[in-house]
Amino acid sequence: MIDYRSDNTGRAAPQILEALVQANQGTALGYGGDDWTAALQRRFSELFETSVRVFPVATGTAANALALATLGPSWGIVYCSEVAHINTSEANATGFFGGGIKLAPIGGEHGKVSADLLAETLAGTSPAQLHRGKPAAVSLTQATDLGAVYRLDEIRAITEVAAHHGLRLHMDGARFANAVARLGCSPAELTWRSGIDIMSFGATKNGGALCDAIIVFSPDLADSLAVQLRRAGQVWSKMRFASAQLIAYVENGLWLEMAGASNKMAARIAAGLREIPAARLLAPVEANEIFLQLPSSAMDALEVDGFQFYRRSKTLARFVCRFDATEVEGDALLTALRSHLGTARASDAAE
């Protein structure tokens, strides 16, 4: 079996678990009053070149929903891509934690929000329209849910529009490491220097184990977030074991090393796909995910071959590369696809 199901089916980086084990010494004040959590604040403030507040949480869903709840009011509207994870895959956690916050999809390519379409939508709103709720925030998924990556100028175009209307900015960075590795920008450039107020900082999908984090760039948001996290049951009493994981995750560039490896594997496969005429990608492969339009028969055949992956529809398959995927696994997928698609044309995969 070769597993392309998700980056969360994979192992954790051994360094992260080793750090967790090393944190098991002596006693430490609970709920984040420990030395590891203090060090985490310093370490991430260095990484982001500004003073940030970092709150470890159990999952990306918690990070997204609670970050967005902080940007509310409860009658707020959060704009996002139609295919954003918050809109499709979190059981409306944002609506729940936000006390009724509504997600409003904005069009765009490859899982991105289009700055122009956002501007058009916002131009049609007015504070006097109580019956419409209040435009409150924009959420960008970086890398996107279709495996593309926002360029710096794309982010800035959106944050400008949002700022003009008094909206705040959230970044869902479940695969932020992949985006940073792809673009080579600094984490600061990709976030607060481009107008992001708060972000969900993913680790789990990129070699982490049991925690992600919320990073607060706009200090006014931190205090209300802290109490909401406590109420949400997202504040571990033995926080040191979470903070130690996150410190290890960024130590010596581990996070970018792992994201670089999974990006590279996806790029290798994408390069191979260019030589298979019948292989049609839904979006450019810029991170570690490949969305490939395939006939059902080809998907069946891949499964017989022992490949694991998700069928997003009858004609769409998703392949995700983990940080520890090997070239052998990548090449095996290409060989199999070549074999099953060799004589087909791209149009055969169309719905």
96 or 152: CB nearest a copy of itself: 96
Footprint of a copy of itself on residues 231-250 (CB under 8 A)?
A: 231-238, 241-242
63 or 283: CB nearest a copy of itself: 63
Q: Using CB under 8 A, count the residues that bind a copy of itself.
A: 76
Smallest gap from Cβ 107 to a copy of itself, in A, equals 13
Footprint of a copy of itself on residues 124-153 (CB under 8 A)?
A: 124, 130-134
Footprint of a copy of itself on residues 58-77 (CB under 8 A)?
A: 58-66, 73-75, 77
Q: Is 322 in the site for a copy of itself (CB under 8 A)?
A: yes
Pick the binder of a copy of itself from 28, 47, 188, 281 (CB under 8 A).
28
Considering only the stretches 143-151, 178-186, 229-237, 249-257, report the one whose residues sit in contact with a copy of itself under the rule CB under 8 A. 229-237
Q: Is 210 in the site for a copy of itself (CB under 8 A)?
A: yes
135 or 195: CB nearest a copy of itself: 135
Footprint of a copy of itself on residues 78-107 (CB under 8 A)?
A: 88-93, 95-96, 99-103
Q: Is 165 in the site for a copy of itself (CB under 8 A)?
A: no
Q: Is 156 in the site for a copy of itself (CB under 8 A)?
A: no
Q: Is 187 in the site for a copy of itself (CB under 8 A)?
A: no
Footprint of a copy of itself on residues 243-282 (CB under 8 A)?
A: none
∠ Cα 108 92 308 (to 5°): 75
Q: Is 10 in the site for a copy of itself (CB under 8 A)?
A: yes
Cα 22 from Cα 41, distance rounded (Å)? 19
